[in-house]
Every structure is written in structure tokens, then in C-alpha cells.
Amino acid sequence: MADTPLVKILIVDDEAAQMKALCSTLKSHGYETTGFVSAQAALAVIEEGKFDLLLTDLMMPEMNGIALLQAAREKDVNLVGVIMTGEGTIATAVEAMKSGAFDYILKPFRLSAILPVLDRAFAVQQLRMKNAILEQRVHERTAELEAANKELEAFSYSVSHDLRTPLRHIEGFAGMLGKSAQATLSEKDRRYLNLIMDSTGLMSRLIDDLLDFSRTNRTEMRRIEVDLQELLEKIILELQPETEGRNIVWKKSPLPLVQGDPSLLRQVFSNLLVNALKYSRSRNPAEIETGCRIEPKETVIFVRDNGVGFDMRYADKLFGVFQRLHRKEEFEGTGIGLANVRRIIARHGGRTWAEGKLDNGATFYFSLPR
């Protein structure tokens, strides 16, 4: 097994005899020491990673210990400094710690006092090194993820656009075939043609939703004050054609003003309300409730319905792209709406989650930071 590397200490003291004695003593205790009587000469040899610790006198003629430590940290941010000082300058040594020194030791030296300070200083230096490596890895991984996300979004956007042309051809020619051959088509052939038309319609909606989803992250956010109550009332008004003839009981508690992008938050509310209307279609009356609770760090908004609900075992799938917990024959949709909700709220710094029970309604929550 390889030997543990020696702790490398740079010692700077304008008193040559004291500097040499300290170098010799610490070397005999397993440290690798390099000594200088000139702060400028010591500064000239500092390179990143060359030394672990800097042990410097506080009062020196050409450059004091605080200035040396600050200049040294500019060359090696992970270097840990310890100040040496006499009894009369302890207050100055404390100020040195405020300026970046890890600790101080008093002259005349006692080995029993120096060694524990150096041990602690080296532990801090090692922690800084590990943190620097972790930060670099996080930075690299983040850059990789951002690049992958951009590629994926560009791919989905490109594919969606490229799919539009052949889809329009299928839809157009199927419609023309239906009109020109209507009299000669059998019942079975008409059913086949209707299935083709229905499928192209579904695929068209999928493409539109996929494009919306890919745009969500590329759209620049505009944070302003948004009146959620006013936004809710407008969306309910816009949904009147879908609610015509239905017995719907709206339960609306007052919603607050929040900071956010009004266009993106409109998408969130619209998706949640459309879902609530869709899955409560079999109820008479359908009950849809909106409300909020104000917490210390966030505002939580919810949309609740008394519809068909869902099994909580599959709650984690609700916000995934193309994830559906009900058959398309029962409820129309593409499975992108809730994924869009999660992405939009995440961009606002909030959370999304849901609670439900089979045949006993569902509640969808989202939060916005206060």
C-alpha cells in the first residue's frame, strides 16, 4: 500500500533562525516544509496545489501576513493559512481570521499548540479540495444535461415539424377519397376510412402538444404580478362551450396575487381545469373546487374534482410525457398536459403533486415560491 503523502507547508518568517527552527521541528514530525524569510520570495513559488498550508508571521517588513495570505489565495484558492503572532497582536490576528486565515498560533511556540492547529487546517484544506472536485463534476454534469436536453428538444421540435407534412397528405387524401367514393364504399370500408381520419386527428393533436411541450423550456419567462383569481375566471369563461348542458358546481375560494409568467400559468390552470372537467364527465353534478393555502415559503394552489380519480400506486406516472392511467377509449387526450404543468411549475421554482382515489375524485396541487 502506498505511503500517505506528506502535508506540504510553506513557512514564512522574517526571522531566519525562527523560520529554520520551525521548518526542522515540523519536518521531524512528518511534514514537508519549505521556508522563506521574504514574503515576496514565498509568493513567487506558490502555484495551485504545490502547498497545502501557509504558515506565516503576521508582522513582516515588506508585506504583512494578511496581505501575503490574500495574495497567496488568489494563486491557490484551496490553500489554508495560519497566522503566527506575539501576545501583543492577538486582536490583529483575529482580524486576520476575518480576512481569510484559518487560525493563529502564538509566539513563542509550543509544539503541543501548533500540531493540533495544523491538523485541523489540513482537514479543512482537504475538504476544500474535495468540494472543488465535486463542484467541477456537478458543473460538467450540468453542462452535459443541458446539452442533452437542448438536443432532445431540438429533435422533438424537428420531428414534430417533419411529421406535419405527411400527416396533412394522409388527412387530405383520406377526406378526398371519402367524398369521391362515398357512394361505392361498403359499411366496413367507411368504418376503416373513419378510423384513418380519427387516427390522423389524434396524431395531429399529439404533434401540437409535443410542440407545446418542447417550447415550454425555450420560452423566455416574464415574471410579473399575476392575479390568479382573475386568471381562473377568464379560463372558466373560455371553457363554457365544453361545459354547455352539464350540471357543474364550481367551488371557488379566493386565490392570491403571485409572481410568475401569466402566459405559462394560464397553461397550468387551463390543463388542470380541462382535466377536472374531462374526468368528472360522468358525475351529476360534477364538482370542481379551486383554492389555496399560504405557507411560510410557498403558496400552494389546488384543483379538486369528484371524478373517476386514480390509483395512488401509479401517482408518479401522472406527470410523465405520454403517460395515461385511463384507456383512450374512455377519455380523450395525449398524455402531455400534466407533463407541461410540471415543467412550467418547475421553471417557476415550485412543486407539483397529486392525490386521488379510484372512483372518488382527484386533487392536483402546484406550489409557487413566496
Is the pLDDT at 148 greater than 80? The verdict is no
**Looking at 109, 141, 168, which one is the last position of a domain?**
109
Separation between Cα atoms, residue 346 and residue 343, nearest integer Å: 5
Residues 198, 244: one domain?
Answer: no
Domain count of the fold of the chain: 3
**Looking at 109, 134, 167, which one is the last position of a domain?**
109
Q: Please give the average per-residue pLDDT across 308-315, as a whole number.
A: 82
Per residue, the 3-state secondary structure of 327-341, as one string, reads CCCCCCCCCCHHHHH
Give every CB contact of residue 222 below 8 A, 6+ residues apart in sequence: 261, 262, 263
The answer to whether residue 76 sits within a structural domain is yes
Residues 69, 205: one domain?
Answer: no
Taking only the tens place, the pLDDT of each residue in 181-210 is: 888 888 888 888 888 888 887 777 777 767
Give whichever of 23-37, 80-94, 108-122 has the largest mean pLDDT. Answer: 23-37
| Average pLDDT value for the chain | 84
DSSP per residue, 291-307: EEEE-SSEEEEEEEE-S
pLDDT band at 1 (very low <50, low <70, confident <90, very high): very low
pLDDT of residue 362: 92
Residues 239, 339: one domain?
Answer: yes
Please tell me which residue, 254 or 335, carries the higher pLDDT value: 254
| Cα angle value 223/233/334 (rounded, 5°) | 75
Range of the domain at 248: 224-369
Residues 297, 335: one domain?
Answer: yes
Taking only the tens place, the pLDDT of each residue in 11-25 is: 999 889 989 988 999
**Looking at 93, 109, 125, which one is the last position of a domain?**
109
Cell numbers 507547508 correspond to what residue? Answer: 9
pLDDT of residue 323: 57
CB 256 within 8 A of CB 292: yes
Residues 33, 97: one domain?
Answer: yes
Residues 199, 158: one domain?
Answer: yes
The answer to whether residue 81 sits within a structural domain is yes
Please tell me which residue, 159 or 242, carries the higher pLDDT value: 242
pLDDT band at 328 (very low <50, low <70, confident <90, very high): low
pLDDT of residue 12: 93
Reduced DSSP (H G I as helix, E B as strand, rest coil) percent helix, strand, coil of the chain, to 5? 55, 20, 30
The answer to whether residue 120 sits within a structural domain is no
Verdict on whether the full-model pTM lies above 0.75: no
Taking only the tens place, the pLDDT of each residue in 283-298 is: 989 999 999 999 999 9
Q: Which of 86-90, 167-171, 349-353 has the lowest mean pLDDT?
A: 86-90
What is the distance, to the nearest Å, from the Cα of residue 250 to the centroid of all Cα atoms in its chain? Answer: 35
49: left (phi over 0), alpha (psi -120 to 50) or beta: left
Lookup: cell for 52: 497545502
User: 352: domain CATH number?
Assistant: 3.30.565.10
Q: Which of 55-64, 201-210, 278-287, 349-358 has the lowest mean pLDDT?
A: 201-210
Give every CB contact of residue 225 below 8 A, 6+ residues apart in sequence: 257, 258, 259
| Phi, psi angles (nearest 5°) of residue 213 | -65, -40
Residues 40, 97: one domain?
Answer: yes
User: 42: domain CATH number?
Assistant: 3.40.50.2300
pLDDT of residue 182: 82
The answer to whether residue 2 sits within a structural domain is no
* Orientation of helix 90-98 relative to helix 65-75, angle to 10°: 20
Residues 287, 270: one domain?
Answer: yes
The answer to whether residue 351 sits within a structural domain is yes
Name residue 216's amino acid: T
Q: State whether residue 362 is helix, strand or coil.
A: strand
Residues 159, 275: one domain?
Answer: no
The answer to whether residue 145 sits within a structural domain is no
Taking only the tens place, the pLDDT of each residue in 91-139 is: 776 777 777 788 878 887 788 888 888 888 888 888 888 888 888 898 8
The answer to whether residue 144 sits within a structural domain is no
pLDDT of residue 329: 46
Residues 234, 352: one domain?
Answer: yes
pLDDT of residue 242: 81
Lookup: cell for 269: 390552470
Share of the chain above pLDDT 70, in %: 89
Residues 242, 198: one domain?
Answer: no
Residues 56, 174: one domain?
Answer: no
pLDDT of residue 302: 96
The answer to whether residue 133 sits within a structural domain is no
pLDDT band at 2 (very low <50, low <70, confident <90, very high): very low
pLDDT of residue 369: 93
